Amino acid sequence: MRRFDLKKLLEKNERALVIGVGAALLTAFLMNLEFNWVESSLYDFRMRLGSQPTPSNEIVLIAIDDTSLTKLDELSPLPLEHHVRLLELLEQMHPRSIGYLVDMNRVAQTYPDQVKGNWGARFVGVASRLEMQGIPFILGTPFDINGEVVPPFPLSAVPHAISVIHKDGNVFGEDKITRRALLSLYGKPTFHLELAHRLTGRELESPIRGQFADPAIEASYFFFRYHGTTGFGPRAENKPAYKVFSMIDILEGHIPRSRIEGKTVLIGSMSRTDSEDYTFTPYSKRAFANPKLIVHANILDAIMTNRGVVRSPDWLNWVTTFLVTAFVIWSVFTYTPLYGVFNTIVLALGFLLVGQILFSVRGLWIRESQPLVGIFLSYYLAVPYRLIQEYKRRWDYQQKNEILMQVEEMKTNFLRLVTHDLKTPVARIQGLAEMVLRRSSARLEEHEQENLRHIMNSTEELNHFITSVLELTKVESNRVSLTLESKDVNQVLEKIVERFDAQSKTMEIAIKTELEPLFPIRMDVSLITKVLTNIIDNAMKYSTRGSEVLIRTRDLGATIEISVIDQGIGLSTEELGSLFTRFYRAKNDQTTKNAGTGLGLYLTKFFVEAHRGRVEVSSVHGKGSEFRIILPTDLKSEDVVQPGLRVDANVNLSNQGANDVSSTRS
């Protein structure tokens, strides 16, 4: 006989045991919690999303609306004489039944003489005649904590029943939304149940589909389905599902008998000036209120057609919660984290879809809050959800970063190859044009010479553009060479100014210098020359004829300052914010006249910051600008050493600061 080995059995079935016990414990925990707010929101979502039953065309509504109040020159709920006149006219139209949803206690408080006098007797008389003709007539009444508020004498002789609209004030959603209807209270049927019983001959003891009891207050309720479109807002899709006639149209004889004959007529107030006439429904939550009269019609329709919402039994909720939590735990243990997330989401969406179908087609309400919370809580407890998300995010970022780096490298190599190969043919074109102009100028006409000069100027601009792009690719690929040597900045400036001599005369712009004596500083002469040339060239381009450009140097001790001040068009505040952005050029008439790449100031700032310096700009729009280049006087090789940067005859400069710099003008 083989010995039973419990330990081996547990080890063999460890996963199944963990799944079963974990799902059972989590289910027991969740079933002892109430998620009424979540459940009510899910209920409203299903109500709004699902298809609504077709409303009965046997129910019509007569509204005491604002139009009626205005034409009758009265206030709601109107004197009793108007109600009597309405009933007498309806008596002649032979409706199937009449439900009168007007609080006669309010009428008695406002017009006591009419209720106690002849009009009260006439009201009772017309109600009696309707009953004798086989037309059920029921007066809806309010209620307080003690039960029904009986109508005043003699109207109390008329058949009456409680017609309260239930709101989830301190139960379920606790949000004043009307989802359920009161069927009976203290053993007495309510207005809707009594009227439906008299219309259909249904036994009062026969339960309505989905009916449930509340023993605490000896009441019974049922969750009812709304029919068609229940809204009554200004939008076209919110037209009421039931036909609504204005009371004044009945009194004035505008409604033919055929529209009322054989119909169940509900009469009530629908004045927008009285908030008591409206209530919030799952369709109008946080949007607009629906008239209570239309809600009464929906309740009556649901009772007559027995279309209540059936709540699933507790045992089904237990089983459903256990099964979904067990599946999630099993999925996490079986599949990779990514598939676990996928399975969890699909399960949640699938559960919502099944719940929606059952609710819409069969009117079966399966509670979704505990199973949904169980789905996500079980996943969170089975695996560190946050770590999985972070791992996935890091993996995605790594893949994207590698692709971007490859693309950036390919782009840089392409630009470098293309621009480098362009320099030779451009130089050849420029040289040939100069040679033709020099050797054949005597035989060429003026316009032909001018065309050659345009060719030379265009090739010069193109060469400048190619050079800027090459510099940009060097910057972005960390291939900028920095060769430091001691040099007097004033001498560099003087040579640069000499180059602009012809241009300044042509443009009639005076270049003045105020150069303080300076000690030589360590710098890359080639790069600083490019920086200063670009700054002065910009000042010349954007200055007006007859103005001047001032170049000034100052010794500030640990630094020197080079200022270029022009009297040109200046820069706006918005332009200053984007001044050193790559490929940026200011949007004005002057920039359209002058060709440029939008890289000059981008490279300027980069080269200056490579020397541990900085560029400062101040400008007044329409008056001019001042660019200040500030360089340290004691720059050492180790000061510019960074990862990927060497300072010798050939120095690789890192891309530090490259994302902050760019150009506005050139």
CA neighbor of 363 nearest in space, from 305, 412, 318: 305
Report the distance separating Cα 473 and Cα 415, nearest Å. 7
**Count of beta carbons in the 10 Å neighbourhood of residue 573:** 8
Could you tell me the two tokens for 74?
């009265």
Q: Is the pLDDT score of 5 beyond 60?
A: no
Please spell the DSSP secondary structure of 431-491, one letter per residue.
HHHHHHHHHHTTTS-HHHHHHHHHHHHHHHHHHHHHHHHHHHHHHHTT-B----EEE-HHH
Best-predicted range by mean pLDDT (9-23, 263-277, 428-442, 643-657)? 263-277
**What pTM was estimated for this model as a whole?**
0.57
Packed helices 525-541 and 489-499: angle between N→C axes, nearest 10 degrees: 50
Task: Tell me which range, 278-282, 314-318, 624-628, is most confidently predicted by mean pLDDT.
Answer: 314-318
Provide the pLDDT confidence category of residue 147 given band limits of 50, 70 and 90: confident
In the block, which residue shows the tokens 């007529």? 265
Decide: 658 and 648 in contact? Cβ < 8 Å. Answer: no
Section 618-647 average pLDDT: 72
Spatial distance between the Cα atoms of 294 and 288, rounded to a whole number of angstroms: 14
Could you give the CA distance from residue 358 to residue 355 in angstroms, rounded to a whole number?
A: 5
Does the pLDDT at position 649 exceed 60?
A: no
Kindly provide the b/e burial profile for residues 185-204, where b requires at least 16 CB atoms within 10 angstroms of the residue's own CB.
Answer: beeebbbbbbbbbbbeeeee
- Structural element, H or E, at residue 310: strand 308-311
- Which pLDDT band, with edges at 50, 70 and 90, does 587 fall under? low
Q: What does the domain layout of the chain look like in residue ranges?
A: 54-185+230-294, 389-472, 478-660
Pick the range with the lowest mean pLDDT from 338-347, 401-410, 414-423. Answer: 414-423
pLDDT band of 101, cuts 50, 70, 90: very high
pLDDT band at 111 (very low <50, low <70, confident <90, very high): confident
Angle of CA points 22, 27, 28, to nearest 5°: 105
Span 390-411, mean pLDDT? 73
Q: Could you read off the pLDDT of 525-534 as tens digits, one per residue?
A: 888 888 888 8
For 33-49, what is the mean pLDDT? 87
Supply the pLDDT for residue 648: 40
Max alpha carbon distance in the chain (Å)?
Answer: 126
Q: Residue 588 — very low, low, confident or very high, per pLDDT cuts 50/70/90?
A: low
Q: How confident is the model at residue 477 (pLDDT cuts 50, 70, 90)?
A: low
Residue range 497-514: average pLDDT?
85
Beta strands in 78-195 (DSSP E): 97-101, 137-141, 143-144, 147-148, 160-162, 180-185, 188-189
pLDDT for the residue 339: 83
- Give the mean pLDDT of 102-110: 89
Element (H, E) at 386: helix 385-440
What pLDDT is stored for residue 86 in this prediction? 94
Of residues 613, 611, 610, 590, the one with CA closest to residue 664: 590
Q: How far is CA 219 from CA 179, 188, 562, in A?
A: 16, 9, 92
Highest mean pLDDT among 12-16, 365-369, 620-624: 365-369
* Topology given in CATH for the domain delimited by 478-660: Heat Shock Protein 90 (3.30.565)
Phi, psi of 613 (to 5 degrees): -105, -165
- pLDDT tens, 269-280? 988 888 788 888
Q: What does DSSP say about strands 548-555 and 559-565: parallel, antiparallel, or unpaired?
A: antiparallel
Query: How much is the average pLDDT of 433-437?
Result: 72
Q: Is the pLDDT of residue 403 over 70?
A: yes
Q: In the predicted model, is pLDDT for residue 132 greater than 90?
A: yes
pLDDT at 387: 62
Looking at the chain, the whole-number percentage of residues with pLDDT higher than 70 is: 78
Beta carbons of 97 and 198 less than 8 angstroms apart: yes
Residue 471 has pLDDT above 80, yes or no: no
Pairing verdict, β 364-365 and 308-311 = parallel
pLDDT single digits (tens) 330-389: 888 777 778 888 889 999 999 999 999 999 888 899 999 999 999 999 888 887 644 654
Pairing relationship of beta strands 219-224 and 180-185 according to DSSP bridges: antiparallel
Q: How confident is the model at residue 296 (pLDDT cuts 50, 70, 90)?
A: very high
Tell me the pLDDT band of 97, cut-offs 50, 70 and 90: very high
- Mean pLDDT throughout 634-653? 49
Q: Can you tell me the distance from the alpha carbon of 383 to that of 184, in angstroms, rounded to the nearest whole number?
A: 50
- Residue 268 has a pLDDT of 93
Integer Cα distance of 612 and 529 in angstroms: 16
**Residue pLDDT, tens place only, 197-233:** 988 876 666 788 999 988 877 889 999 988 875 444 3
DSSP code at position 658: G
Residue 52 contacts residue 225 (beta carbons within 8 Å): yes
Predicted confidence (pLDDT) at residue 304 exceeds the cutoff of 60: yes
Q: What is the pLDDT of residues 56-81, one digit of tens each?
A: 899 999 999 999 999 998 888 889 99
* CB 535 within 8 Å of CB 627: yes
Q: What pLDDT score was predicted for residue 441?
A: 67
Judged by phi (left if over 0) then psi (alpha if -120 to 50, else beta), residue 196 lies in alpha
- What is the SS3 string spanning 213-278? EEHHHCEEEEEECCCCCCCCCCCHHHCCCCEEEEHHHHHCCCCCHHHCCCCEEEEEEECCCCHHHE
| % of the chain residues with pLDDT over 90 | 28
Q: Residue 316 has what pLDDT?
A: 92
Res 126 pLDDT > 90: yes
Q: Which amino acid is at 368?
A: E
Could you tell me the pLDDT band of residue 656, with boundaries at 50, 70 and 90? very low
645 has pLDDT over 50: no
Domain 389-472 has what CATH class? Answer: mainly alpha
Question: How many helices (H) and strands (E) in the chain?
Answer: 22, 23
Q: What's 621-649 look like in SS3?
A: CCCEEEEEEEEECCCCHHHHCCCCCCCCC
Q: What is the mean pLDDT of residues 473-488?
A: 70
The mean pLDDT of the chain is: 80
Average pLDDT over residues 319-335: 88
Residue 666 has pLDDT above 80, yes or no: no
